[in-house]
């Protein structure tokens, strides 16, 4: 399976609490819900086409908890809500035990487990949100495609996908478009480490 990842980000790189004020208050974060002002009818077809390609989900523990509280009660039968509910979900965790909701816990070597999943037949193993997990997957060159939905807002606080100091990444732009509300949909293919030189 191809490992594809999608992440909602602010212009200043924050991924925390996009959906609502109480979605993720880790660290005292009080600026959640920053996607609400940019609702756009063009986003739904994009999300639908995205979930239609999924054969399994790979989620961080926090994202899994957010999803698990919400989606079982909001299954409308569409590819997004129904897909999230019925697809197998793989969650790296050393404390999550015996979960329901078609969830499989990865409690050993995460990199080895992900490589095993990628080696299975299928279309896409999708990562949604899951900032810590996504950063780790990128550092180990496990991501085949990275989709960033960049919202036109600077929130000035919160967890960021890329830390101030970390691994370098070269990215090849595969597709780029902007919705009427100003959300940039950027699709990248990771291309190893960044290179450096003098601009001429």
Looking at residue 17, its pLDDT comes to: 95
The pLDDT assigned to 200 comes to 79
| Cβ pair 96, 26 in contact under 8 A | no
State residue 1's pLDDT score.
96
Specify the pTM.
0.93
- What does the domain layout of the chain look like in residue ranges? 2-190
As to burial, measured by CB atoms within 10 angstroms (0-12 exposed, 13-18 middle, 19+ buried), residue 70 is: middle
Low-confidence ranges of the chain (pLDDT < 50): none
At 98 the pLDDT is: 85
How far from the centroid of its chain's Cα atoms is residue 95's Cα?
Answer: 21
- The structural architecture, per CATH, of the domain 2-190 is 3-Layer(aba) Sandwich (3.40)
87-126: buried (b, 16+ CB within 10 Å) or exposed (e) per residue? bebbbbbeeeeeeeeebebbeeebbebbeebeeeeeebbb
* Per-residue pLDDT reduced to its tens digit, 89-140: 999 999 998 899 999 999 989 999 999 999 999 999 999 999 999 999 999 9
State the pLDDT at residue 163.
87
Residue 53 to residue 87: CA distance in whole angstroms: 11
Give the pLDDT of residue 136.
Answer: 95
């Amino acid at each position: 399976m191809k490992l594809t990842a999608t992440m909602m980000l602010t212009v200043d790189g924050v991924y925390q609490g996009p959906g609502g004020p109480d979605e993720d208050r880790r660290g005292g974060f009080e600026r959640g819900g920053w996607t609400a002002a940019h609702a756009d009818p063009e986003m739904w077809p994009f999300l639908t086409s995205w979930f239609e390609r999924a054969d399994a989900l790979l989620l961080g523990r926090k994202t899994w908890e957010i999803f698990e509280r919400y989606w079982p009660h909001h299954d409308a039968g569409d590819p997004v809500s129904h897909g999230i509910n019925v697809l197998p979900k793989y969650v790296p965790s050393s404390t999550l035990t015996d979960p329901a909701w078609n969830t499989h816990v990865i409690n050993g070597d995460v990199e080895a487990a992900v490589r095993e999943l990628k080696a299975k037949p299928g279309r896409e193993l999708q990562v949604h949100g899951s900032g810590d997990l996504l950063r780790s997957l990128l550092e180990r060159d496990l991501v085949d495609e990275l989709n960033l939905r960049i919202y036109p807002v600077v929130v000035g606080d919160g967890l960021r996908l890329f830390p101030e100091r970390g691994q370098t990444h070269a990215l090849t732009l595969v597709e780029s478009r902007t919705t009427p509300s100003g959300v940039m949909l950027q699709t990248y293919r990771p291309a190893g480490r960044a290179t450096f030189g003098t601009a001429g």
